[in-house]
Amino acid sequence: MPASRIKSLPVDRAGLDKSLVQGIAWTGIARWSGQFASWAVLLYAARVLTPGDFGLVAMAMVPIGLARLIEDLGLDAAIVQNQKLDARQISDLGGLALVFGITLCLLYQVFAKYIGGFFAESDVIGIVRALSLLFILDALQVVPRALLQKDLAFAKLALVNGTQLVVSALVLGAGTYLGLSFWSLVLNHLVSHALIVLLLYYLRPNIPTWPRKWARIAHSVKFGGNMLLARVAWYAFSTADQLFLGKQAGKDALGEYSFATTFAHIPVSEIGSLSGKVVPGVFSAVQNSRTQLTRYLLLLTESFSYITIPATIGIALVADDFVLIVIGPQWYGVALPLKILSIYMSSYAVTTLWSHILIWTGHAKINMYMNILSLIVLPPAFYYGAHFGATGVSIAWAIVFPVTLLPVFWFIRKILLLRFSRFLLCLGPTIISTAIMTAVVLIIRDYIANDWETLSRFLATSISGAAAYALSLLLIFGKRVRKIVHIVRRAMS
């Protein structure tokens, strides 16, 4: 909808605050409980499996991941965004997604040999054919997941996501122990997704139906089409780094880079996993109130930045010791890309909610155009950077991607009538406190603990940095922090 049509309509702010905070809490508890098991098993697998095992699966996941973005035709977002859909329309959209998922699965059975030939790895053929079953499993999840999101049933969604993490970790650990090599990385996806389909249909049953009256779902399909193109463009530019690096530098370099991106993304992806499960339902509910949209954008951006920015900068500061301690010296090539990507992620962290504003206010087409712009700009940079290995690709992310965010903020500003100074002000406490943290870590690392053994130096810098950040935030900006804590307490009561 045009920006002029977004008015400050009355909403149940207290009720939405409660749904938002409790949704994030439930999601966090479930995800981090499951994530503990997931990371423990992943680190075990990293010490047993080879970089090449991870590289093979990463190669297969590039084309598989692209299809997984388009398999639902963007209909999940259409169901959440459109508050007027009836039960039959929703079932028809589910049937359309299922037919498309089956079609994709059959196509990938045929084209798997060409994908393996592109990477010159015969094992990729079998991996692609097995993982193509995910298209059907994902399609079956579209409607029940969207309905739980629309119902603001965040506790149930948290149960689903936490269960998936735990099951995936158990299967990966068992497969690694049994010596299944890279197949353990494949089976954990398939088994966990199959079980989650059953759980979702138990929690929110819905029978997919073949759409008989296309006119009744045409608007949702069009909205989904914009989402679909946006996701395709996003996936294309966000995986072009792995595509070019795998082709030019091989599976070992790609395996190292995959680990660097995994660790660099942890703080933002964890917070993003919370907001991504909760924000769509809340933003959709207030899509006609500019005042409330702006309030939630600034409140969530500031709250999330308290965690994401110091965490990403902290990883960059201790990357050398972190890699040696956590995954071993055979992975030391991960350290430099990890530093660069962590710095890049600190800037990306403050923009994660921008696409939500565009989508849930009806500006899915603008979001699509912005992703297409990134698709035009980023892959050439990755292609050039891949000549210098994982480090070159990481530098391309850090330099080029922030430039693509400028027009996105221009649209956000226009939609919400938001001044840049107001947005920057909400980040002030985090930026200043993180700068103090960085100075403390550098002093301790270079002048006090430089000659210490790796583990001692890592603990000293990590603990002192965290303490410096927390003290700075509480002593200098205590009033701001207490205000957010008050909102959380009131919502939880």
The pLDDT of residue 360 is: 74
HEC string of the chain equals CCHHHCCCCCCCHHHHHHHHHHHHHHHHHHHHHHHHHHHHHHHHHHHHCCHHHHHHHHHHHHHHHHHHHHCCCCHHHHHHHCCCCCHHHHHHHHHHHHHHHHHHHHHHHHHHHHHHHHHCCCHHHHHHHHHCCHHHHHHHHHHHHHHHHHCCCHHHHHHHHHHHHHHHHHHHHHHHHCCCCCHHHHHHHHHHHHHHHHHHHHHCCCCCCCCCCHHHCHHHHHHHHHHHHHHHHHHHHHHHHHHHHHHHHCHHHHHHHHHHHHHHHHHHHHHHHHHHHHHHHHHHHCCCCHHHHHHHHHHHHHHHHHHHHHHHHHHHHCHHHHHHHHCCHHHHHHHHHHHHHHHHHHHHHHHCCHHHHHHHCCCHHHHHHHHHHHHHHHHHHHHHHHHHHHHHHHHHHHHHHHHHCHHHHHHHHHHHCCCHHHHHHHHHHHHHHHHHHHHHHHHHHHHHCCCCCHHHHHHHHHHHHHHHHHHHHHHHHHHHHHHHHHHHHHHHC
Domain ranges, ordered by start, for the chain: 3-492
The pLDDT of residue 399 is: 92
% of the chain exceeding 90 in pLDDT: 20
**What pTM value is reported for the model?**
0.68
- Asked if pLDDT for residue 341 goes beyond 80, the answer is yes
- Asked if pLDDT for residue 26 goes beyond 70, the answer is no
pLDDT in tens, 44-82: 887 788 777 888 888 888 888 778 777 777 777 777 776
- Asked if pLDDT for residue 5 goes beyond 50, the answer is no
The pLDDT of residue 19 is: 67
The pLDDT of residue 15 is: 66
Q: Give the mean pLDDT of 19-35.
A: 67
Q: Give the mean pLDDT of 18-31.
A: 68
pLDDT in tens, 161-195: 888 888 888 888 888 888 888 888 888 889 988 99
Task: Give the pLDDT band (50/70/90) at residue 12.
Answer: low
Who has greater pLDDT, 73 or 207? 207
% of the chain exceeding 70 in pLDDT: 90
Q: Give the mean pLDDT of 10-15.
A: 59
- Asked if pLDDT for residue 461 goes beyond 90, the answer is yes
pLDDT in tens, 88-144: 888 888 888 888 889 999 999 988 888 888 887 788 898 899 998 999 998 898 888
